Structure 1
Amino acid sequence: MPHINRTMTAREWAMLLALSVLWGGSFFFAGVALKELPPFTVVALRVGIAAVVLNIVVRACGLEVPRSRAVWAAFFGMGLLNNAIPFSLIAWGQTHIASGLAAILNATTPLSTVVVAHFLTRDEKMTANRAAGVLIGLAGVVLMIGPEALKGIGTNVLAQLAVLLASIVYAFAGVYGRRFKGMAVAPMVTAMGQVTASSVMLVPVALLVDRPWTLPTPSLTASGAILCFAVLSTALAYVIYFRLLASAGATNLLLVTFLNPVGAILLGSFVLGERLDANHFLGMALIGAGLAAIDGRLLKRIMQSGGAARR
């Protein structure tokens, strides 16, 4: 088995940053859509539109769609763990708690992933620098989002627990999804299969629970948010996700949840003209320090230079 418990390449870090921007915007898009539509409908539209887009792209690229029952069973397992359960929990949670608090709770995913991967894999074991980096990065997320987001802690406990549970499920999904590399399924095909399976599971639930045909027609703003949610934060994001999962491993990949708030805040600054405060920069610095600790290369160089100086 290849050794995945390693530092990431510059290309993988660039992909991780791109994924953070795509997923950082998802909290914004969800917040806009949830003002007019119920959670299951938003989630079903997200995966349904993404499935249509990716099916078209896969066929346009001439990629082969698997027919194996084992592969499709894996698609449904991944769709359940990586989309159906966490998307629904987070969407419902965001109807009761602030997006900032949801982002902080979601940023606990690497903590869960370090533990889950340690026990369920042979090549992604916990190390001291990873554990320290995760804690530093989580502190940076809390600082960057701001103390005002923590005011909701203690209220709407079920909504908070729902987002925390989603983070734990994401950790299991990251480990579960490693199997697609062994199945020799292309990342774009894996992304297509996952969201297709998710649509099969979620669309009937939305029809049964929300009865969307009885809802008012969403505004252009909400419709645009859903389209961006589906195409950018889901279809494109999952192509990058599965490429990273195959090469960098689950623990490295799910560091993206630390960067998601960074992406969201930077998007707000550049797109909406929102002001960046000192806590944003300090939080980003802590996140950078946490990622550097997990990556390990900088620490190794410091130790090597220190050893050379002593000699």
Structure 2
Amino acid sequence: MEKNKLLVTSWIILLLLSLVWGSSFILIKKSLIYFTATEVGLLRVVLSFLFLLPVAVMQVRNISRKQFLYLSISGFVGSLLPALLFAKAQTVISSGLAGTLNSLTPLFTLILGVFFFHLRVRWYNTLGVFMALAGAVALVYVSSGQHLSFNSGYAFLVVLATLCYAFNVNFIKTFLKDLSSLTITTFSFFYIGIPATVYILIFSEVPHKLVQNTETLTGLVYLLILSVVGTALALIVFNKLIKISSPVFA
């Protein structure tokens, strides 16, 4: 009974995350009207970091040196790099294509899990992954008017981002399974959020843009929604999903 309850919960979480992350690609595209790709990626990290900062302050003494290292790796590979890669890619490719290519994540999770994290999978896990991949290819084919032509260089950035996600899913399941999903998300952003904040405030044009052009505030609102709902809160839920299910399912 408990196993069935967890399965139902996992599917509900997965469906909700699909809706949230599907809209995230649209928000990234809208944010790029006002900011550069680097600014969008780093602001996404900074705003998520600031949202989760109160939790980090309360729990920072409970994090060991070993956990600090693992959480830093998770934050860099699973959040910072994908945020920058998706933003850069969407300066050229559409949000729809970015979202579709993102569905490669389960396939890469399976491959990396089997070869590097000793992940054991059942035949229906593999079948489900390849069915999802086939569906993604079909969506790209149909949405492109039966002509699979797109900028392969920028599309590769999305593929690289999905590899980062896949690594992070397996990494969390293997090395951070003893921490709560809230703690994992909070400190993943804590360690990358500090340098990202310094860069945005001192080395970027973001403060100047916000002061000189009030329309830029619209882009900041898009990024605030993306960061709080589509990143921080979504990752807390997603990390919970990783803990109660398999990496391939998540």
Q: TM-score w.r.t. structure 1 length?
A: 0.70
Q: 1:103 to 1:12 in 2, by over 3 A?
A: same
CA-based RMSD:
2.7
What residue is the counterpart of 1:187 in the other structure?
181
1:151-170 deviations in Å (ceiling 9; x for gaps): 78554222111111111111
- Asked if 2 retains the 8 angstrom alpha-carbon contact of 1:38 and 1:210, the reply is no
1:69-116 deviations in Å (ceiling 9; x for gaps): 211111110011101111111110000111111112111111111111
Runs (5+) with no aligned partner, structure 2: none
Q: Report the structure number with the largest CA radius of gyration.
A: 1
**Structure 2 residue 90 is the aligned partner of structure 1 residue 100:** no
What residue is the counterpart of 1:247 in the other structure?
244
- Amino acid of the residue matched to residue 226 of structure 1? L
What residue is the counterpart of 2:17 in the other structure?
19
Provide the secondary structure at the position in 2 that maps to 1:52. helix
**Structure 2 residue 79 is the aligned partner of structure 1 residue 114:** no
CA–CA distance in structure 1, aligned partners of residues 77 and 157 of structure 2: 14
Quote the sequence identity (%): 25
- Asked if 2 retains the 8 angstrom alpha-carbon contact of 1:86 and 1:169, the reply is yes
What residue is the counterpart of 1:175 in the other structure?
170
What residue is the counterpart of 2:43 in the other structure?
45
What residue is the counterpart of 1:200 in the other structure?
194
Q: 1:249 to 1:205 in 2, by over 3 A?
A: farther
- Amino acid of the residue matched to residue 71 of structure 1? Q
- Asked if 1 retains the 8 angstrom alpha-carbon contact of 2:53 and 2:186, the reply is yes
Count of residues paired in the alignment: 244
Report matched runs for 1:64-213 at 5 Å: 65-122=61-118, 124-144=119-139, 147-149=142-144, 153-178=148-173, 179-181=175-177, 184-206=178-200, 210-213=204-207
CA–CA distance in structure 2, aligned partners of residues 149 and 209 of structure 1: 39
- Amino acid of the residue matched to residue 147 of structure 1? V
